[in-house]
């Protein structure tokens, strides 16, 4: 599949089969995300992999009850870690960390599509509740959730 076919193929999937995403596919998705460009190559973001059913349910509740989050096999939580960038770029680093996280999430979404997996970018959520549900470290701000599974 060419790159242009891939971007045409990708669309939001909000309902998933009860079938796990295998480790090889997950590793490919994470490798793709980590290949994304980042400001100053500082990778000022973190990806938290959530597979636990209870944690996914809590994330779904934090995302205003969106069922896609609870139904997915895995949910990737992309967080901006401003401190990794502000140490070099001062205030501007806050913006860079958000950009770093969003670009990585885009790469992950395209990688999932290439593997015939479905995903949806979820941006509507309560940040504090997501931080608790995903057990994010202090200084890690959730930017996007990416539920992934078999459509
Ligand atoms: C920043 C951002 C936030 C989004 N938030 C949500 C969301 O909370 N829930 C959801 O179901 N879709 C969400 N979406 C997905 C969009 O609704 C979707 O990408 C858009 O309707 C286009 O459809 P497509 O992805 O199938 O091309 C979000 C997309 C972006 C880029």
Q: What is the DSSP string of 48-66?
A: EEE--HHHHHHHHHHTTT-
CATH of residue 119: 3.40.109.10
Ligand 1 cavity residues, CB under 6 Å: 11-12, 14, 66, 68, 120-124
Which atom of ligand 1 has the smallest separation from the CA of 102?
1
Please count the CA atoms within 13 angstroms of the CA of 18 that sit on its side-chain side.
1
- Cα 13 to chain centroid, rounded: 14
What range does the domain containing 77 cover? Answer: 3-149
- How far apart are the C-alpha atoms of 143 and 58, rounded to whole Å? 17
Tell me, what DSSP letter sits at residue 21?
P
Full pLDDT tens readout for the chain, 151 residues? 999 999 999 999 999 999 999 999 999 999 999 999 999 999 999 999 999 999 999 999 999 999 999 999 999 999 999 999 999 999 999 999 999 999 999 999 999 999 999 999 999 999 999 999 999 999 999 999 999 999 9
Based on the structure, what is the number of domains in the chain? 1
């Amino acid at each position: 599949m060419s790159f242009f076919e891939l971007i045409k193929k990708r669309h939001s999937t909000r309902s998933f089969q009860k079938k796990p995403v295998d480790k090889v596919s997950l590793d490919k998705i994470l490798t793709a995300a980590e290949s994304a460009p980042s400001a100053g190559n500082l990778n000022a973001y973190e990806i938290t992999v959530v597979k636990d059913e209870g944690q996914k349910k809590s994330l779904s509740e934090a995302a205003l009850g969106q069922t896609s989050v609870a139904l997915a096999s895995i949910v990737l939580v992309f967080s901006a870690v401003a401190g990794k960038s502000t140490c070099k770029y001062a205030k501007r680093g806050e913006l860079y960390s958000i950009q770093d996280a969003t670009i990585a999430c885009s790469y992950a979404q395209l990688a999932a599509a290439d593997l015939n997996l479905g995903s949806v970018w979820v941006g509507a959520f309560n940040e504090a509740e997501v931080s608790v549900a995903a057990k994010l470290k202090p200084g890690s701000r959730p930017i996007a959730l990416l539920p992934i599974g078999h459509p």
